[in-house]
Structure 1
Amino acid sequence: MGRSIHHPVGLIHNSPSSTFNGYTLFSTNGGDHATLIDNYGRIVHRWNYSGGIVYAYLLPNGNLLARTKPPEDVDIVKGLGGSSASIVEMNWDSEVVWEYKDPMLHHDYIRLPNGNTVVLLFTALDEETSQQVKGGHPREDDPKTILGDVIREVDISGGIVNEWEIYKEMDFDEDVICPLEHRREWTHANSLNLTPNGDFLVSFRNTSTVGIISRETGEFLWKWGPGNVFHQHHPTFLENGNVLIFDNGSHSQGMDRSRVIEVNPATNEIEWQYTETPALAFYSFHISSSERLANGNTLICEGAFGRLFEITKNGKVVWEYINPFYSPDLRKGDPTNMVFRAHRYPPEHSSILDKDLDPDNYRNMNRLFGGETAKNQ
């Protein structure tokens, strides 16, 4: 949706009797901080890292696993969305306790129960393969080789445990780049999650595809999307077996608008969706996320405008917050409050159970950004 520069930021709305009680974690796309707020919009903790915190989530031990800003002077990934120089793990005091560096890192990562980490990486395809990739908007300066996607598992020392070359499982006739996108990348994987069986649930923006990839064979077990979703983000498995997806709706047939959907992978039927009226009131061209909460509500990140909001099953907005923290955009340098993804943690979550979450620790910042008055609304 469009946003006036005079639009209020911080907490916009809170219905305590209807919201899922907890703490929301987010970071500005291009900033150096991750911020944890309560349902009254009050800051209760912040992490900072000089290399940037583009996206982060909490581990069960209370540490923060974060993706940094892009690498410097690496031409092959320069200007590509989601590019990062490293994945860092920080303790509660923002001290780095683990780091994995690779200039081809991008978008998403998973910490496994055994302590290993799974990451997404770009990889340069050979010229013959690149020429077989269909679609995209050709330009005279297109590279002869384009980038594909790889999933890599690394151990605590950074050693490669396993690698899945996703691009080898793609189909040249089915997996076609959107005609309005460039040809520097083929699929542009933007999300990586685990299914209940431990396989990979992946989203490919450029081909508008969501798929499940077997960890054992590397083959697709399920593949869906083109013509149904458009440049989607953040698919996650739900307890009912459905997949929750933020459908950005970019370059869609007809009017661009976003929605959140539940698709049944057994039938490929959309069984639930959320839109706004008018439809244009809810639209994020890129990034963004949706997360089903324990009370059945859904936390939505309308990333392009830094809008975080919670809805009930019937679509009622019961909590709304607009990111008040601006940073230079990673590609153009303009001030932005964009948020890649957001997460909500209940008070009993192991990551924050014994932590000091007193908003008075950030009293001055809360006065600036509305947190002090929010508790009285």
Structure 2
Amino acid sequence: MGRSTHHPVGLIHNSEEAYKGYVLFSPLGSNYANLLDENGDVIHRWHCEEGIVYGKLLDNGNLLCRTKAPTDVPAVYRVGGSSSAIVELDPESNIVWRYDDPMLHHDFQRLENGNTLLLLFENLPHEISAQVQGGHNEQDKTFDIGTSEYMLGDLVREIDEDGKTIKEWPISSALSYEEDVICHLENRREWTHGNSLNITDKGDFLLSFRSTSTIGILGRDSGEFLWKFGSGRLGHQHHPTFLDNGNILVFDNGAHTKGLDHSRVIEINPNNDEIMWIYEETPPIDFYSFFISSADRLPNGNTFICEGASGRFFEVTSKGDVVWEYMNPFTSVDLIFDHPNSIVFRAHKYGIDNPIFKKLDLNPDKYQDINNLYNKDNATRNTIFLP
């Protein structure tokens, strides 16, 4: 039971003001990642039998992505963002590198020296979890997330090309029991639920913690927070990124906040914590994703947004005008949401002049059958199910 699936999908809008580029995304729970052109046609696709929950393009033309969640590890069973491995796929979808760890989750970064930064869960000692404030211990009525003896924390790990650990940064040691309090509507299965890992221009780590509605910069050398932002000003946010002007862009989901829940994308000046730019819709509730989602500032000044819960990607100008819009037509089944859905963790847009694309065979004719299915004039979500 639920609302009708008979709604237009695929490309909804494309204008001259849109940044000329290709969009990369993977439906949550699927085994593939799609690259779209500006007309919404699939022009390249990667496939992995272990699943592709989320991927990023590397300079060598390969796709670095994380696989589906493990099903046999009680500590992380049905915990959002979990993955069994990080794999690197060449343009023909061959696995050329991999790193396996059932505690992997959410995000990763390939460094210039060839090393890889990873975000992982860790089991917190009872003497730490006993001091963590907030949250509740009730079972979620929507889905079973299982139980675990330990509360989960987060850590950042750097590995070399052979998978050897170079260094780890446990997040719990840098947190404050008084300041980093779990939202009272969230389960105490996790303390912070880190959902994003980015790198500043100085090599420090820009992190996001959903359970405490906080983002912060963790010093690579010190292991301490150099800056934190949240404290009632964010609502279970995702995907903070550093901009060229030194500000930070973040998708503020707006969940569990005072007043009407709605999402927004904000640009923050970390020097004074002022919000320099906001994208909201009118009425505000028209733009809302309770979880996941992302936002990227494009080279032409536009902002590319993934409203993840609905599978909507769109691009806005600095004035807030929508100049490109696409609705994900592909449905898949995820471990947590065990029914067909169109959810997308993140989506990214890359300029068409990026040298990466010279290494890929970009051919919409190769995917003509798929593209014909979701022509915006006749496609609806119930016409497509691609695992």
Distance, in Å, in 1 between the alignment partners of 2:37 and 2:192 is 37
List structure 1 runs of 4+ shifted beyond 4 angstroms.
140-144, 371-374
Amino acid in the other structure paired with 1:27: S
For 1:30-41, list aligned pairs within 5 A.
Answer: 30-41=29-40
Q: Is 1:239 aligned to residue 238 of structure 2? A: no
TM-score using structure 1 length: 0.96
Q: Is 1:185 aligned to residue 184 of structure 2? A: no
Q: Is 1:13 aligned to residue 13 of structure 2? A: yes
Alpha-carbon offset, residue 94 of structure 1: 0.2
Alpha-carbon offset, residue 79 of structure 1: 1.0
Distance, in Å, in 2 between the alignment partners of 1:276 and 1:371 is 23
| Contact map agreement 1:31 1:328 (CA 8 A) in 2 | yes
| Contact map agreement 1:41 1:371 (CA 8 A) in 2 | no
Alpha-carbon offset, residue 373 of structure 1: 9.7
Counterpart pick for 2:326 among 307, 321, 329: 321
Alpha-carbon offset, residue 357 of structure 1: 1.2
Alpha-carbon offset, residue 371 of structure 1: 7.5
- Tell me the equivalent position of 1:224: 229
Distance, in Å, in 1 between the alignment partners of 2:6 and 2:257 is 30
- Tell me the equivalent position of 2:23: 24
Q: Is 1:53 aligned to residue 52 of structure 2? A: yes
| Contact map agreement 1:127 1:144 (CA 8 A) in 2 | no
Residues 354/106 of structure 1: CA separation in 2 closer, same or farther (3 Å cut):
closer
Q: Is 1:106 aligned to residue 111 of structure 2? A: no
Alpha-carbon offset, residue 10 of structure 1: 0.4
| Contact map agreement 2:75 2:147 (CA 8 A) in 1 | no
- Tell me the equivalent position of 2:317: 312
Instruction: List gaps (5 residues or longer) in structure 2.
Output: 140-145, 380-387
- Tell me the equivalent position of 2:342: 337
Counterpart pick for 1:148 among 146, 153, 159: 153
| Contact map agreement 2:206 2:241 (CA 8 A) in 1 | yes
For 1:1-377, list aligned pairs within 5 A.
Answer: 4-15=4-15, 17-139=16-138, 143-370=148-375
Aligned residues: 372
Instruction: List gaps (5 residues or longer) in structure 1.
Output: none
Over the aligned positions, Cα root-mean-square deviation in angstroms equals: 1.6
Alpha-carbon offset, residue 346 of structure 1: 1.0
Distance, in Å, in 1 between the alignment partners of 2:75 and 2:242 is 33
Amino acid in the other structure paired with 2:352: P
| Contact map agreement 2:9 2:376 (CA 8 A) in 1 | no
Alpha-carbon offset, residue 137 of structure 1: 1.3
SS in 2 for 1:337: coil
Deviations 1:184-228 (A, max 9, x none): 100000000000111100000000000001111111010111210
Alpha-carbon offset, residue 145 of structure 1: 2.5
Amino acid in the other structure paired with 1:318: V
Residues 31/310 of structure 1: CA separation in 2 closer, same or farther (3 Å cut):
same
TM-score using structure 2 length: 0.94
Amino acid in the other structure paired with 1:25: L
Deviations 1:18-45 (A, max 9, x none): 0000100000011101000001001100
Residues 372/12 of structure 1: CA separation in 2 closer, same or farther (3 Å cut):
closer
Larger mean Cα displacement after TM superposition, 65-74 or 139-148: 139-148
- Name the % identity: 57
